[in-house]
Copies of this chain bind each other. A is one copy, B any other.
Amino acid sequence: MSIVVVGSVALDSVKTPFGEVQEVLGGSATYFSVSASFFTDVKLVAVVGEDFPETHIKLLESRSIDLSGLQKRPGKTFRWKGKYGYDLNEAITLDTKLNVFENFTPVIPDSYRNAEYVFLANIDPDLQSKVLKSVEKPKLIALDTMNFWIEGKPNELKKAMANIDILIINDGETREFAKEPNIVRAAQKILKYGPKMIIVKRGEYGAMMFSDNSVFATPAYPLHTINDPTGAGDTFAGGFMGYIASIDRFDEPAIRQGIIFGSVMASFAVEDFSLNRLMRLEKDEIRKRFKEFKKLSHFDDFHETFGI
């Protein structure tokens, strides 16, 4: 099954304690698409400026990503500049130049309209709602957002959220959106806004899933080398949705497996800057790390003889 993703394609300049890159390929839709492309067909909706390098187009095409929905507009491509300290969980934004992204109006090509899976990456919640009107009955819709919209357009966000299946959101944003410090209570509160399920991304601490009748929690894959956490959340979403769409199932076991694949893909992405690690990733490495994930997090039932 194919996935439509709507989000940003950007040129990122990033500095971490382990290196620095200038104007490299980035953006939520980019990370999502490349990650999901290891699992299924991806149809991208985004905008770039006239300065967007042809090599980046070729890179996306090399992953068989459908670019019919990638608009090229007069002006410059969206640029983001940020840095990380040793606490790699939090990015510090140094500069944001929206450029052509400022007036982005997603246009869904006719060939995308019957896609079964839709991912609304972090954009204006009004645009997220608009996109949902342009697609015909997808089986599953997931949405990501950020503190900027939680603070600036909370009502529009709640409106968008009433029409989706899965909210994918990070730890701090979950607490902020619900105005509730306890993550379990925060998730339960947000579930009342409409989504059937919430997946909470916790960076190096893993991920959690909450629905009305179940909870799932996983640690992150313990990494010896993390060079750049940029795009980890969208790469996670790409692995998650990619797997779900590829097997066309979203029952509880499939959701859990999807969360592990999301974690696996994110763990690869952060090993290098930009899309570098994902672009040299082999399918067998993905399968292998999933199995390692199971090995490092599973445990046997207790010995019945224990003294309680």
Hey, which bits of chain A sit against chain B, CB under 8 A? 17, 38-40, 86-88, 181-185, 202, 204-206, 208, 215-220, 222-226, 242-243, 246-247, 249, 253-254, 256-257, 259-261, 283, 286-287, 290-291, 294, 296-303, 305-308
9 further A-B contacts with Cβ under 8 Å, apart from A247-B306, A286-B308, A290-B302, are A182-B225, A216-B296, A217-B297, A247-B303, A260-B299, A261-B302, A287-B308, A290-B301, A297-B297
Given contacts A287-B308, A306-B39, contact A256 B294 (CB under 8 A): no
Chain A to chain B contacts (Cβ below 8 Å), 24 pairs: A17-B181, A39-B306, A39-B307, A87-B181, A183-B222, A184-B222, A184-B223, A184-B224, A205-B206, A208-B219, A208-B222, A215-B222, A216-B297, A216-B299, A217-B220, A242-B307, A246-B308, A247-B307, A257-B299, A257-B300, A257-B303, A260-B299, A291-B301, A294-B299
Task: Give A301 to B226 CA distance when docked, in angstroms.
Answer: 26
A205 cross-chain contacts in B, Cβ below 8 A? 202, 205-206, 219
Q: Name the residue among A17, A222, A249, A294 with the largest chain B CB count within 10 angstroms.
A: A222
Q: Specify which chain B residues have a CB less than 8 angstroms from the CB of A185 in the assembled complex.
A: 224
Residues of B within 8 A of A301 (CB): 257, 290-291, 294
List of B residues within 8 angstroms of A208 by Cβ: 219, 222
Identify A296's interface contact among B86, B215, B254, CB under 8 A.
B215
5 smallest CB-CB distances across A and B, nearest first, come from A217-B219, A246-B307, A86-B181, A256-B299, A205-B205
Min distance, Cβ A212 to any Cβ of chain B, angstroms: 14
